[in-house]
C-alpha cells in the first residue's frame, strides 16, 4: 500500500479515495471492526474533522488512555499540592495540568490560595526559575509519555541547581497497549499508535506488541488523511489475517527511533510498575528516577506520603471513557454537571482529554 506524501494530508479528494478503500475492505471483511487509538491528538483529529461521520457504521473507532494529564493519578497531584503548600516552594508544570481535579484540590485552586504555582512551556524553563530563585525549592511536576520523557532526562543530566527537583509521573505507552488488549469486553481488532511516541522509541516496541498479541497496529501521523490511511492499512491487515506494526508516519518516524533520546531515558530513568488514573497499576507502565540522580527526585527530597486519594469522583465515568468502554456522552455527568468550566474528571480538563474533545466537537 502506498504511503502518503505530505501534500495530500488534508486533500479532500485524497480523503474520499481512502474512504472508498475503507468501504471496500470492510465489505470484504464482512463483520464489525473496532479500532482503538491511544493518543489525544488522534482523537482531536478524528473529532474535529468528523472522521467517524464519514465512515461506515461497521467501523468503530474508540479512544484509549491517550492523555498523560488524564492518566496521572490524583495521588501525584496531591503530592505536588502538599509540597506546594510549604514555604519557599515553587511548583512548575505544563498548562494542562493546572485545573485537573485531584482528591481535594487542583493546582489552580492551590494557586488561588496563594501558593506559587507556575505554568512552563518546557522543563528548561523550570530549571531557569530554579536558577533565578536559589533560596527556593523549584519542583517540576513531570507528566507525559515517551515523547516528553527525554526532555526532562536531558535537564536532569546536565546538572541543574540542587534546588531543582522533579515529581516523576511519566507513563509508557506499549505497556498500556498490553493491558488494553487483555480487556475481554473491548475486543479490539487493531490499534492506531501515536506517531510522536514512536519518533522517540521507534517502531520495534510496537512490533513486539503486535507479534506477542497477534494484533494489527499502525503508527500514524496526526492529519486527517494520516488517520484515514492508518485505518485503511489496519483493515488491509485484518482482511489478510496479518498482525504486524506498519509505519504510516514515515516522514518523521524511523524504525530505530531517536537513539540519543533513548540513551537519555535509559541513563536517567527505570521503568516501574505504575498506577494510571482510572485504569489501575500497569506493569512497566511508568518511570522512576534512578538512584544515581536521586538528588533531583522530589519523592526522595520531600518524603511525602499520600495515604488516601480519590482518582474517580462519585458519578464520574473517566475510567470507562479512558478504556474505551463508553463514549463521553454515555456518562450521566457529561455536559450537565461536568463541563470544561467545571470539570469533575480529568478527561474534561485537558485539551487532549476525550470528554473535552467531545464537548468541543460534540
Partner 1 sequence: MCLAIPGKILEVNGDKANVDFNGVKRDVIIALVKDAKVGKYVLVHAGYAIELINEEEAQETLKLWKNIVEEEGLDESLFF
Residues 6 or more apart whose CB falls under 8 angstroms from that of 64 comprise 36, 37, 38, 176, 180, 322, 323, 324
Binder to partner 1 among 19, 108, 124, 290 (CB under 8 A)?
Answer: 124
Q: Which helix (H) or strand (E) holds 71?
A: helix 68-71
Binder to partner 1 among 25, 36, 39, 298 (CB under 8 A)?
Answer: 39
Q: Kindly indicate which of the ranges 7-15, 53-61, 274-282, 298-306 contains the residues binding partner 1, using the contact rule CB under 8 A.
A: 7-15
Strands of the chain (E only): list them: 33-37, 59-63, 89-93, 116-119, 137-144, 164-170, 190-194, 217-220, 245-247, 269-276, 280-289
Distances in Å between the Cα of 132 and the Cα atoms of 61, 125, 128, 136, 164 are 47, 11, 6, 9, 11
How far apart (Å, rounded) are the C-alpha atoms in residues 73 and 84?
A: 17
Q: Residues 296, 188: contact at Cβ < 8 Å?
A: no
Q: Based on CB atoms, which residue is closest to partner 1, 7 or 31?
A: 7
Q: Residues 185, 222: contact at Cβ < 8 Å?
A: no
Number of residues that bind partner 1 (CB under 8 A): 41
Q: Residues 305, 17: contact at Cβ < 8 Å?
A: no
Nearest approach in angstroms of CB 214 to partner 1 is 27
Binder to partner 1 among 19, 23, 108, 151 (CB under 8 A)?
Answer: 151
Instruction: Determine phi and psi for 84, rounding to 5 degrees.
Output: -65, -20
Give all strands of the β-sheet with 164-170 in edge-to-edge order: 116-119, 89-93, 137-144, 164-170
Q: Based on CB atoms, which residue is closest to partner 1, 69 or 282?
A: 69
Q: Based on CB atoms, which residue is closest to partner 1, 83 or 143?
A: 143
Using the structure block, give the residue that is written with the C-alpha cell 492523555: 67
Q: Based on CB atoms, which residue is closest to partner 1, 67 or 238?
A: 67
Binding status of residue 15 toward partner 1 by CB under 8 A: no
How far apart (Å, rounded) are the C-alpha atoms in residues 163 and 298?
A: 10
| Cell numbers for 295 | 538528588
Q: Based on CB atoms, which residue is closest to partner 1, 214 or 254?
A: 254
Q: Which helix (H) or strand (E) holds 116?
A: strand 116-119
Binding status of residue 147 toward partner 1 by CB under 8 A: yes
Q: Based on CB atoms, which residue is closest to partner 1, 35 or 152?
A: 152
| Cell numbers for 92 | 512548575
Q: Based on CB atoms, which residue is closest to partner 1, 106 or 262?
A: 262
Nearest approach in angstroms of CB 249 to partner 1 is 10
Binder to partner 1 among 148, 165, 317, 323 (CB under 8 A)?
Answer: 148
Question: Per-residue contact track with partner 1, 339 to 358, x per CB under 8 A?
Answer: -----------x-x------
How far apart (Å, rounded) are the C-alpha atoms in residues 161 and 288?
A: 20
Binding status of residue 164 toward partner 1 by CB under 8 A: no
Question: Per-residue contact track with partner 1, 246 to 265, x per CB under 8 A?
Answer: -----xxxx---x-xx--x-
Longest dimension (CA), the chain: 67
Binder to partner 1 among 43, 76, 78, 96 (CB under 8 A)?
Answer: 96
Q: Based on CB atoms, which residue is closest to partner 1, 194 or 324?
A: 194
Nearest approach in angstroms of CB 193 to partner 1 is 11
Nearest approach in angstroms of CB 4 to partner 1 is 11
Q: Residues 348, 312: contact at Cβ < 8 Å?
A: no
Question: Per-residue contact track with partner 1, 179 to 208, x per CB under 8 A?
Answer: ---------------x-xx-xx--------
Instruction: Determine phi and psi for 343, rounding to 5 degrees.
Output: -75, 135
- Judged by the rule CB under 8 A, the positions of this chain that interact with partner 1 are 6-7, 9-10, 39-41, 67-69, 94, 96, 121-125, 143-145, 147-148, 150-151, 154, 194, 196-197, 199-200, 223, 251-254, 258, 260-261, 264, 350, 352
Amino acid at each position: 500500500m502506498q504511503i502518503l506524501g505530505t501534500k495530500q494530508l488534508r486533500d479532500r479528494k485524497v480523503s474520499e479515495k481512502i474512504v472508498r478503500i475503507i468501504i471496500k475492505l470492510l465489505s470484504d471483511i464482512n463483520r464489525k471492526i473496532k479500532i482503538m487509538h491511544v493518543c489525544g491528538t488522534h482523537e482531536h483529529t478524528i473529532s474535529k474533522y468528523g472522521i467517524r461521520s464519514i465512515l461506515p457504521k461497521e467501523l468503530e473507532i474508540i479512544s484509549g488512555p491517550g492523555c498523560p494529564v488524564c492518566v496521572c493519578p490524583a495521588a501525584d497531584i496531591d503530592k505536588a499540592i502538599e509540597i506546594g503548600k510549604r514555604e519557599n516552594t515553587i511548583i512548575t508544570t505544563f498548562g494542562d495540568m493546572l485545573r485537573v481535579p485531584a482528591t481535594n484540590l487542583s493546582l489552580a485552586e492551590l494557586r488561588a490560595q496563594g501558593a506559587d504555582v507556575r505554568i512552563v512551556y518546557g522543563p528548561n524553563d523550570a530549571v531557569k526559575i530554579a536558577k533565578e530563585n536559589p533560596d527556593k525549592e523549584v519542583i517540576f511536576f513531570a507528566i507525559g509519555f515517551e515523547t516528553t520523557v527525554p526532555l526532562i532526562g536531558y535537564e536532569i543530566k546536565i546538572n541543574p541547581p540542587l534546588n531543582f527537583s522533579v515529581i516523576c509521573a511519566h507513563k509508557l505507552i506499549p505497556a498500556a497497549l498490553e493491558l488494553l488488549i487483555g480487556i475481554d469486553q473491548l475486543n479490539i481488532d487493531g490499534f492506531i499508535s501515536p506517531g510522536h511516541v514512536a519518533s522517540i522509541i521507534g517502531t520495534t516496541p510496537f512490533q513486539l506488541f503486535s507479534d506477542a498479541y497477534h494484533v494489527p497496529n499502525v503508527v500514524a501521523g496526526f492529519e486527517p488523511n494520516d488517520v484515514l490511511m492508518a485505518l485503511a492499512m489496519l483493515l488491509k491487515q485484518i482482511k489478510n489475517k496479518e498482525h504486524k506494526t506498519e509505519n504510516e508516519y514515515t516522514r518523521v518516524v524511523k524504525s530505530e527511533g531517536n537513539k540519543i533520546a533513548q540513551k537519555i531515558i535509559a541513563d536517567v530513568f527505570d521503568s516501574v510498575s505504575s498506577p494510571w488514573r482510572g485504569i489501575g497499576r500497569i506493569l512497566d507502565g511508568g518511570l522512576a528516577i534512578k538512584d544515581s540522580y536521586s538528588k533531583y527526585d522530589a519523592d526522595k527530597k520531600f518524603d511525602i506520603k499520600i495515604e488516601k486519594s480519590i482518582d474517580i469522583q462519585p458519578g464520574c465515568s473517566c475510567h470507562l471513557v479512558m478504556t474505551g468502554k463508553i463514549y463521553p456522552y454515555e456518562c450521566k455527568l457529561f455536559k450537565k454537571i461536568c463541563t470544561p468550566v467545571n470539570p469533575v474528571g480529568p478527561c474534561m480538563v485537558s485539551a487532549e482529554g476525550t470528554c473535552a474533545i467531545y464537548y468541543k466537537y460534540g
